[in-house]
Structure 1
Amino acid sequence: MATNFLVAGVQCIAKSDHLKLKPGEIAYQKGNIITVVEPTQEKGIYKARNNKTGEEGLISSTNMREREAIRIDSCLSLMPWFHGKISGQEALKKLKPREDGLFLVRESFRHPGDYVLCVSFAGDVIHYRVIYQDNKLTIDSSQFFYNLIDMIAFYSKNKGAIATILHRPKEKAGTRSAELEISKAGWLLEMDKLILGASIGEGEFGEVYEGEYLGQKVAVKNIKCDVTAQAFLSETAVMTKLQHKNLVRLLGVILHNGLYIVTELMDKGNLVNFLRTRGRSQISTGQLMRFALDVCEGMEYLESKKLVHRDLAARNVLVSEETVAKVSDFGLTKGDSKGSEQVKLPVKWTAPEALRKEKFSTRSDVWSYGIFLWETFSYGRQPYPKMSLKEVRERVEQGYRMEAPDDCPPAVYQLMGSCWQEEPGKRPSFHKLRDKLQKEIDR
């Protein structure tokens, strides 16, 4: 492994089999995912858990490699077998040579909104109409699926109502299987190792649950819609690149009922609710300063990776059991500065140049950080109180800036002002902001 320093919760992949054991060691095979439990006194030796067997014991970091980051790539598809709107004749041409179980899925020409599963069997191709019934998909009105990903997973293991088990997908030209890539890079987790608990929230895209994965408390975002699941692949890919104490850590993904994104559990929820429910009587200015520093350090790390978050706000900052703030929700994170797809922007948090021309940069994140500071020191109030989004846009363009929240330290309000400079180049970097905050805390 490139480094002999691993922290608890980091997952690595075994480079080779380890079956001749010294006392206290665990067995593993090449490719097994190993979770670090804690360091030991001895350099390069860690207490760890084999994710496959659940056994705990000692490992040497020299026989481990870090999980690779998944490349963000538009070719990566959760549904490489989905060919979109092609005719039955085109499907026949693609499903060659005619081996049993070669398959693809297409949109139905005759029945818009329905799909067709085309399967090669006994030298022929059988077309199964997939219909929507009660918001679910079915071929035979007895087996129902939330989405196409689920349906293909089922018929890849069970013959059910079709002539043969699905053996091999006919991939659409220019696509690569996301499942294969995620698995190869070591980020694919197993559904049967996950214990799902209560729902802890509902996002725009699906339910969030608390749960347990191999004894570790986790949060699980379940995205059932296959199109949305595909869109969340880029968030997942971004998270595989990030390892920092102030960023919510991805443990991996599960492909089942769509997509499960499994992260560390942040027991105390998002920062807005944390501040609003406790208020001034329970949270000191010192604690607010620590939250401000936590988030600044997480953002400084993103800055060093040349990644732009684009949606920094207190609602996207989560608080751990130890009351540490961590940045989450990397759905809009990009390495580039121009947003091409139409995304509904959070107007009150977005820098003027990003609203005007979709010019995103680390310095537009700095603007958002200024708004985040205002939310934090106002104990979770909504920014620009009583102003409509239209008013906010117009007045900010004219030079309006919010006043300091009650009892906000002057030095912090000064930082907010520096974040809200009209010209992006005049705003400080996160590195500079962190220095200033640290000096303020150390006074």
Structure 2
Amino acid sequence: MTTRTGLSLLPGHFQLDDEEKAEYFILKIAYDSTLLQSLRKLVTKNKLFVANYNFEGLSPHDLTLKEGEVLEVVKYDDDDGWWYMHSLDTDSKGYVPINYIAPIKGKYSPMYYKYIYYHTVSRDEAEERLSQADTQAGTFLIRESISGPNTLSVKDGVTIRHYHISIENNQYYINPRVKFDSLNDLVQHYMTEADSLPCSLTVPIPKQANTPIAKNKELEINKSHIKFEQCINAGQFGETWKGDWKDKGPVIIKTNIATDITQETLLVEAGILQKLHHKNIISLYGVCTESYPFYIVTEPMNENLKYYLNKTLITPAELVDIAIQVTEGMIYLGEQDYIHCDLRAENILVYINIGDHNTVKIANFHLIQHLNGKKYWTVKEDTKVVLRWTAPEFFTLNRLSIKSDVWSFGILLWELATKGKEPYPDMATEEVKEAVSKGYHMPIPRDCPEPFKQLMPNCWKNHEYKRPNFNNIIDILLKYKISYL
């Protein structure tokens, strides 16, 4: 059925003016009496959204969505990628990932912008997205940058133009004549008037929620058989949960929900895990790829190493044993010509063996690279890395190698020695980047195992070729372990 303006009552990707919006809901109430009580009030501007994609809730607190469903915001958290929303179609409430919804019409909420208009894409990828046939003049996105200023990319009709967003005295500007206290203020200004741009901004290109791709039938697990129980790690590279696989038992689940990680990246990670078989590398059970979000399902573990270090009294001998197990896993990866690129305590999982030594396994292979016989990997412009664990050659030469993993291993030893503290504890991230680029090394913690004191400064040599390899490292650790027996 349609309204007098031709508006379908089964909304998809649409935009309404205020009159059409009111008409839509009046008619919807008239034809669906169950909505009379659910429509608490006429939805005001900035609160009405449409679901752009299907979403299956992960927990009882989440709101399952169907594409085209109309939603209103109940509350949002400034520092979270999830909003608590009310579905006007089903009269249900729950949490929704912000990159699954879009405002229907009018001024965009600043908090919506925070999660939608920032993209970690290259210049070429930005131009490809903005050049799509259905994008109008003024469509835009903001490209995030690790090393330099963010960039506003905007379509002016035919051409894609790029403008650096500079920061001076905590103010943002494209033209130094007009400065703003926040990026949101800058965007709102240029939506109101073009000023120095070729046209005013209209709508952002939303971050692309992942859509299914061809699945590996041998690995595919029925998503309804996977139950989430406890989150053991969460960050920009996804969430890791303890869970249960129906009729199979405990598992670990990694999901790409509310992150910039695409389904391709997650499935590449699963494909690599399928090839790796080592006692100190997490073992793959399967994947769930039929609908977003996607899961990697692996063998059960208890917790990540950082959390374990924080809460557990650990002897020097056990610290060395953990380091040995990680080293053995890294030797295996090197033999397969892989580099991990994100070796740190949060990405190592612990299986607690009562009455026996615990097992640790390297996990989270979202940045893993196969070198194909090369000495190093030239990092793509928009690759996100965790800077506190990253070797100086990333900052100076834009590359990583197996010796970069050795540097990260040195930081991991520091984590072991300090019971899981964050490296460079008195520095902001940008200060770490500058200090490491200039040759700064953290002080060696007192009261740490002797081999750690020997290894840390060697792992942190500024020149890659001066650092030990993992075979050298395990020799030193094993000598210490033998002396303890």
Scaled to the shorter chain, the TM-score interval is: 0.5 to 0.7
Aligned to 2:477: 437
Provide TM-score, normalisation by structure 1. Answer: 0.58
* 1:424 counterpart = 2:457: no
Q: Distance in 2 between matches of 1:274 and 1:434?
A: 23
Preserved contact between residue 222 and residue 288 of structure 2 (Cα < 8 Å): yes
Matched, 1:366 2:377: no
Tell me the equivalent position of 2:315.
284
Shift of 1:216: 2.6
- Kindly, what percent of the aligned residue pairs are identical? 32
- The match for 1:316 is 347
Please state how far the C-alpha of 1:434 moved relative to its aligned partner.
1.5
Q: Partners of 1:371 and 1:180 in 2: how far apart?
A: 38
Whether 1:243 aligns to 2:181 is no
Can you list the C-alpha shifts for 1:214-234, whole angstroms capped at 9, x where unaligned? 333102233346974423222
Larger RCO (alpha carbons 8 Å, 6+ apart): 1
Partner of 1:211: 243
- The match for 1:340 among 358, 375, 380 is 380
User: 2:71 is matched with which residue: 114, 133, 141?
Assistant: 133
1:27-42 superposed matches below 5 A: none
Show the counterpart of 1:296. 327
Q: Distance in 2 between matches of 1:116 and 1:401?
A: 47
Matching residue's letter, 2:319: L
Distance 1:227 1:349 in 2: 21
Q: Which runs of 5+ in 1 are unaligned?
A: 1-105, 118-127, 151-176
C-alpha distance in 2 between matches for 1:260 and 1:348:
27
RMSD: 3.9
Q: How does 1:21-100 map to 2 (within 5 A)?
A: none
Unaligned ranges ≥5, structure 2: 1-11, 18-48, 54-65, 73-82, 101-210, 372-376
Q: Distance in 2 between matches of 1:442 and 1:351?
A: 31
Find the counterpart in structure 2 of residue 220 from structure 1. 253
1:425 shift after superposition: 1.3
Alignment check: 8 A CA contact 2:241 2:253 kept: yes
Give me the whole-angstrom Cα distance separating, in 2, the residues matched to 1:306 and 1:240: 15
Distance change >3 Å, CA 432–CA 114, structure 1 → 2: same
Question: Structure 1 pair 146/250, CA: closer, same or farther in 2 (3 Å)?
Answer: farther
Task: Kindly indicate whether the alpha-carbon contact (under 8 Å) linking 2:286 and 2:297 is maintained by their aligned counterparts in 1.
Answer: yes
Cα separation, 2, equivalents of 1:398 and 1:198: 41
Q: Could you tell me how far 1:341 is from its partner in structure 2?
A: 4.6
Q: CA deviation at 1:377?
A: 1.4
Matched to 1:365, the amino acid is D
Cα distance change, pair 247–143 in 1 and its aligned pair in 2 (3 A)? farther
Q: C-alpha displacement at 1:394, in angstroms?
A: 3.0
Q: Does 1:187 align with 2:219?
A: yes
Q: Which amino acid aligns with 1:349?
A: W
Measured after TM superposition, the shift of residue 356 of structure 1 is 2.2
Residues 215 and 442 of structure 1, relative CA distance in 2, 3 Å threshold: same
AA partner of residue 335 (structure 1): H
Match of 1:405 in 2: 445
1:254 CA drift (Å):
1.3
1:392 aligned to 417, 432, 442, which one? 432
Quick one: distance in 2 between partners of 1:251 and 1:131? 34
Determine the C-alpha separation between the residues in 1 that align with 2:96 and 2:267: 18
Partner of 2:421: 381
Give the whole-Å Cα distance in 2 for the aligned partners of 1:287 and 1:392.
30
Does residue 259 (structure 1) correspond to residue 294 (structure 2)? The answer is yes
In 2: Cα distance, 1:237 partner to 1:131 partner = 34
1:158-201 CA-to-partner distances (Å, cap 9, x unmatched) read xxxxxxxxxxxxxxxxxxx9754511xx2111234434434445
Supply the distance in 2 between the matched residues of 1:396 and 1:200 (Cα, whole angstroms): 30
What is the distance in 2 between the residues matched to 1:314 and 1:326?
A: 10
Alpha-carbon contact 1:108-1:115 (below 8 Å) kept: no
Tell me if the contact between 2:301 and 2:349 (Cα under 8 Å) persists in the aligned partners.
yes
Q: 2:13–2:68: 8 Å Cα contact kept in structure 1? A: no
Instruction: Give the Cα–Cα distance (whole angstroms) in 2 for the partners of residues 399 and 228 of structure 1.
Output: 32
The 5 A counterparts of 1:124-203 are 130=68, 133-134=71-72, 141=89, 180-183=214-217, 186-203=218-235
Q: Within the alignment, does 1:330 sit opposite 2:371 as a pair?
A: no
Is the 8 Å Cα contact of residues 269 and 365 (structure 2) preserved in structure 1?
yes
CA distance in 1, matches of 2:260, 2:435: 37
Residue 411 of structure 1 deviates from its aligned partner by 2.9
Per-residue Cα deviation, 1:236-283 (whole angstroms, up to 9, x for no partner): 22222211111122211113442122112211x1112211212xxx21
